[in-house]
Copies of this chain bind each other. A is one copy, B any other.
Amino acid sequence: MATMVDVARIAGVSISTVSHVLNGTRNVERSTRERVLAAIEETGYRQDTLARAMRRSKTDSIGLVVSDAGEPAFAEMAHGVENAAAAHGLTLLLANSAEDAEREKRAIRTLLDRRVDGLILARAANTAPDLLPSLQNEKAPLVLLDRLYRDLPLDQVGVENRESMRMLMSHLHSLGHTRFAVVAGDTRVPALTERLDGFFDGMRDAHLDAADQLVLTGTGDDQIRAVLARDLSDFSRTAVIACSTPLAVTALTAIEDAGRATPESVAFATFDGFSYPDLFRPRLTTVRQPAFDMGVAAVSLLLERIEAPEGSPRTVRLRQTLELRESTEAFAASEIHS
């Protein structure tokens, strides 16, 4: 592998000059520059990013840790992050935490050890409580993505969960639904808590009776499935809302267990949703987050923070969109016909 020394020798200049033409960091006479460029061409020289990074203490790379890159929403975010990073000449180092606090810690440690210039984290539900504070002391700035954190002054990118759920509830209520089941899942995940809060907001908006609603929280998928299925076996409940893709899987399974059909017998709506929404039968009404844009926004925040480490932290909330599909249509129709 050719080094700057080789190039300098061939071009008949000092390595200092080579460095400067490479980085455009000071004026160099035209003819000299051309000799250097020719020598670079001839030797096939490429900058050694490692040596460069070491000298400048800057790697031009950023790290992304997601809980599960397989889930469509996270995959899209990763996509957005990667695109934005590439657009700024940054390389992306990606790590999966698999929703596990221990692996998350290791992944972050690894990326930090690689000296990433900044870190974007969609943390696991059970992130160790001391993790975030300890990260504050690192030189690499941190941006939280999707899985936010209330108690710390941090840069964060999320979506307006509470408002979106409220909007969904309002729509469903206008269709005539009054008895809901919400599959809210792990309330340690802020986004899920917010969605649940939005549900309560919606209930109040619609003056619904709390006693008529079924709220399912926690991590026990099997238990959620069983409770929901049992509940649905009597036909008075008319709408089910799942607060994330995995919860939608659980809920749809429970609906099937109960022998209920969507949308004829129960309306169904979910957050985040599945990859090919128009191939699902029934097509699912979905509150969708602009995942790609969230990734892009996270990179912007990160870059600004790298520029200005001392500015005050910002939280960006993007709007979600309500995609109405047939899983919430039939009930309305039956109302009209009755």
- Chain A interfacial positions (CB closer than 8 Å to B): 1, 46-51, 53-54, 59, 61, 69-70, 72, 75-76, 78-79, 82, 86, 91-96, 106, 110-111, 113-115, 139, 249, 252-253, 274-276, 279-282
**Interchain CB contact under 8 A, A70 and B79:** yes
Question: Could you say which residues of chain B place their CB within 8 Å of the CB of A93?
Answer: 91-94
CB distance from A328 to the nearest CB of B (A): 17
Contact for A53 among B50, B61, B95, B111, CB less than 8 A: B50
CB distance from A194 to the nearest CB of B (A): 25
Q: Besides A70-B76, A93-B93, 15 other CB < 8 A contacts?
A: A47-B113, A48-B54, A50-B50, A50-B54, A54-B54, A69-B75, A72-B275, A79-B96, A82-B94, A86-B106, A91-B95, A249-B276, A274-B276, A274-B279, A281-B281
**Interchain CB contact under 8 A, A69 and B59:** no
**Interchain CB contact under 8 A, A82 and B54:** no
User: CA–CA, A233 to B113, complex, Å?
Assistant: 60
Closest to A279 in B: B252
Closest to A70 in B: B75
Contact for A280 among B54, B91, B280, CB less than 8 A: B280
Give the 9 A-B residue pairs with the shortest CB-CB distance, closest first. A281-B281, A94-B94, A70-B75, A50-B54, A49-B113, A91-B110, A50-B53, A93-B93, A82-B96
